[in-house]
Structure 1
Amino acid sequence: MVTFLPRLPGRLADVPSFDRAIGGAESNVACTLARTGHTARWISRVGADGFGDHLLAAVADCGVDVTHVRRDPLRPTGIYFRTAGDRATDTHEVAYYRAGSAASAMTAADLDRNAVHSGRILHLSGITAALSEDCLGLMHELTARRPGRPLLSFDVNHRPGLWREPSRAQALLELARGADLVFVGDDEAREAWGLHGAQAISEALPEPDLLVVKQGRRGATVFRRTTGTGARDGGAVGERADATRTATFVPSLNVDLVAATGAGDAFAAGFLSATLRALPVRTRIRHGHLWAAAALTVPGDLATPPGRAHADRLADLDDAAWERLHLGPGWTEAAASGRRADASGHRAGTSGRRGDASGRRADEEVRTP
């Protein structure tokens, strides 16, 4: 989509002007991965209009392959407006103009399976499923378990404003069950499915090999399958046996928040980057937090992620140093310019110790049924 960001705080009714940017969960992930050296392809549909021209140029400028994005001469490119407030607060407003958009006309019949399956990871979002019945059918086709598909990553991305009937969001649970790697916030699982807490979410989603439950300011817990014939981080899809999971919790970072929009996509991109590099689960979560911190400290949906070497160094900090880390606006640029880690905009801070409700230490692994 083309995104319009307010130049001033306030209600949409009161904001007099907006800045144009690009947005969209899947394209955000693709752009972020490409900016850190991964090969990324974005497959979608946009209008044959000026906004479509802008989207294609902006996404391609990030290094993403857009040759499989179709242009629709009959339907417009989707757009949306939002306020500057945090999505989790009552002050946040979003106005979507996506009904009848080019992207909403995507169907399973249009699927280019060679293009979709050519990568090591296929990343999907629940936002696409909400656009139309055709898009929901496309998502069912893509999440069907078939031999030879790449590792399938699915970000639930529940957006109540896109679902005309709230009960329809239950479809997201079925889609998640077809994925190998699932990202879901505990808040959206509660709102969409009535599930409370990471353990309840894990019990409702036993199928994925990796389940990432994002817990807001507290951190994230990853449930990882440890036994069974289907367990994998890549390769062909196989039959699954009953298995146990390990749960790994890593606390979030302290950041000077500018805007929360786009942080979930950045977290997914950081986690997927580390997955492509076959890093340990604990390190993957830390990369997710670091890339989310880059998004949280800028006003737009799309942030410049930290350089790989810099992110690796921070991800290798011991628990105490990780919990003291405090990141502010410009910290990724500060690192790129060679300034020290405690320089302005990327400084060590102090905070109380964080952990989950059980009192376990950060990063502790525990077996769960």
Structure 2
Amino acid sequence: MTATTAEHAGVPEVLCVGEAMVAFAPVVGSLRTSDETRMFVAGAESNVAGALAHLGRRVEWFGRVGDDPFGARVLDSLRARGVDTARVVIDETRPTGIYFKDRMGAASTMYYYRAGSAASGMEPSDASLLALGERRLIHLTGITPALSPGCDALVERILAQSGDAHVSFDVNFRAKLWPADVAGPRIRDLARLANIVITGRDEAHTLWGTETPQDVRELFPDVATIVVKDSDIGATEFRGGREVFVPALHAEVVEPIGAGDAFAAGYLAGRLEGRDAEFSLRLGHVLAAHALSDISDSPALPSVAALHELAGRSDEAWCRSGASLTDNAYAATSSESGRR
């Protein structure tokens, strides 16, 4: 990605567009039995925005929120993380979306209350607010087009009007929003217009019947960069005729939701810094491992120096015994950075 005026003017270099919600999860036990819940802001695109801001990028999130305490919570949370929200539309007639996370052992069930939300009222004319041509990177996901016809049209217009900006598109298939036989063709059509497509091997199989990362590459021959995540095995980047695989970190899984967004943020940050595929994929894995270890979708992160220390290790050090967040050297670096 080459620099544009976004780096030299008031417009943040990265724009993330989508729905942010307020989530609730029981502190102990299940929703049925717990008397105490934890509240936090969640949403694929806002998760990516927050993590990119932590990694030192100038980031803006755009969406619509309701004129209610939940909408205010979304904006307060993102601003506190260093994300620009100047163009967010506050809808006086529609509510901010919310969802509840019910924890049952190692698995969670999500209960969404987002039908008719403020975000579902986004429309293609919103693209005119976003200074698309002044960005280095625009991040979209396959969640937004599922929210409403207007949201679908907005994503298509952003892709058509992105100009010199690179567009990353994270597939993020959500079966509760639309069935695979509808989502598959539509997401494929939209993703083909992006510069970077990120997907999980499992969701690609569900949507398009692919079996391997190489099958996904063949499905999008004209997209410059394809990244295929394979759960706790690793991730593969296809770019410029080169295929690079990096194994994942070992992580104690508390909650898998949000790990994909964290991976996307780490990977994209690496590419924005001009790093190679290996470092960028590793940085994605490092952030994903942190997300897996926390109930919220966007956990607190160590310093950039600590994150880079682990991502920048030699191949041998990374792979030895399955490098992990409990590694003594990394843990010490993280602890020291947290005290500064």
What TM-score does the superposition give when structure 2 sets the normalisation length?
0.86
Distance in 2 of aligned mates of 1:7 and 1:330 = 29
Task: Name the SS of the counterpart of 1:300 in structure 2.
Answer: coil
Q: 1:151 to 1:76 in 2, by over 3 A?
A: same
Count of aligned residue pairs for this structure pair: 314
User: Structure 1 CA distance, aligned partners of 2:41 and 2:164?
Assistant: 29
Instruction: Give the alignment partner of residue 136 of structure 2, picking from 120, 143, 164.
Output: 120
Structure 1 pair 249/85, CA: closer, same or farther in 2 (3 Å)?
farther
Matched, 1:167 2:163: no
User: Would the alpha carbon gap of residues 53 and 76 (structure 1) be closer, same or farther in structure 2, given more than 3 Å must change?
Assistant: same
Aligned runs of 1:320-335 on 2, under 5 Å?
Answer: 320-323=316-319, 324=321, 325-328=323-326, 335=333
CA distance in 2, matches of 1:77, 1:296: 26
Give per-residue Cα distances to partners, 1:300-352, cap 9 Å, x unaligned.
Answer: 1112233222222222222231123222499988534328xxxxxxxxxxxxx
Stretches of structure 2 lacking an aligned partner (at least 5 in a row): 1-20
Q: Distance in 2 between matches of 1:151 and 1:315?
A: 24
1:210 maps onto 2:225 in alignment: yes
Q: 1:68 to 1:58 in 2, by over 3 A?
A: same
* In 1: Cα distance, 2:59 partner to 2:33 partner: 39
Q: Distance in 1 between matches of 2:148 and 2:330?
A: 38
SS in 2 for 1:94: strand
Could you tell me how far 1:153 is from its partner in structure 2? 0.6
SS of the aligned residue for 1:76 comes to coil
Aligned residue type for 2:122: M
Partner of 1:42: 61
Separation of aligned partners in 1, 2:266 and 2:39: 25
- C-alpha distance in 2 between matches for 1:132 and 1:15: 34
Provide the secondary structure at the position in 2 that maps to 1:212: strand
- The alignment status of 1:8 with 2:20, answered yes or no, reads no
2:95 aligned to which of 53, 76, 88: 76
Question: After superposition, what is the alpha-carbon deviation per residue over 1:285-312, rounded to whole angstroms, capped at 9, x for unaligned?
Answer: 0110111111112221112233222222
Alpha-carbon distance in 2 for matches of 1:101, 1:292? 28
In the TM superposition, residue 132 of structure 1 has moved relative to its aligned partner by 0.7
Which residue pairs with 1:312 in the alignment?
Answer: 308
Q: Is the counterpart of residue 185 in structure 1 residue 204 in structure 2?
A: no
Cα pair 2:132 2:163 within 8 Å, conserved: no
Cα gap change, 1:261 to 1:114, in 2 (>3 Å): closer
1:121-160 superposed matches below 5 A: 121-144=137-160, 148-160=163-175
Root-mean-square deviation (Å): 2.2
1:291 is matched with which residue: 287, 291, 313? Answer: 287
Q: Aligned-pair distance for 1:223?
A: 0.6
Identity %: 40
Cα deviation for residue 16 of structure 1 reads: 4.8
Q: Between Structure 1 and Structure 2, whose CA radius of gyration is higher?
A: 1
Please state how far the C-alpha of 1:70 moved relative to its aligned partner: 0.4
Q: Which residue number in structure 1 is paired with residue 6 of structure 2?
A: none
Gaps of 5+ in 1: 227-244, 340-369
Q: In 1, Cα distance between the equivalents of 2:324 and 2:250? A: 5
Indicate which of 4, 27, 38 corresponds to 2:46.
27
CA distance in 2: counterparts of 1:81 and 1:120, whole angstroms:
34
- Contact 2:108/2:255, CA 8 A, preserved across alignment: no
SS at the partner of 2:134? coil
Give, in whole Å, the separation in 2 of the partners of 1:118 and 1:282: 28
As a proportion of its length, which structure holds more helix?
2
Cα distance between partner residues in 2 of 1:220 and 1:85: 28
- Give the conservation status (yes or no) of the 8 Å contact 2:127–2:158: no
Name the counterpart of 1:107: 123
Describe the shift of the 1:69–1:289 C-alpha distance in structure 2 as closer, same or farther (beyond 3 A).
Answer: same
> Which of 298, 304, 318 is equivalent to 1:302?
298
Q: CA, structure 1 residues 147+156, in 2 after alignment: closer, same or farther (shift >3 Å)? A: closer
1:223 to 215, 238, 263: 238
Rounded Cα–Cα distance in structure 2 between residues aligned with 1:257 and 1:186: 19
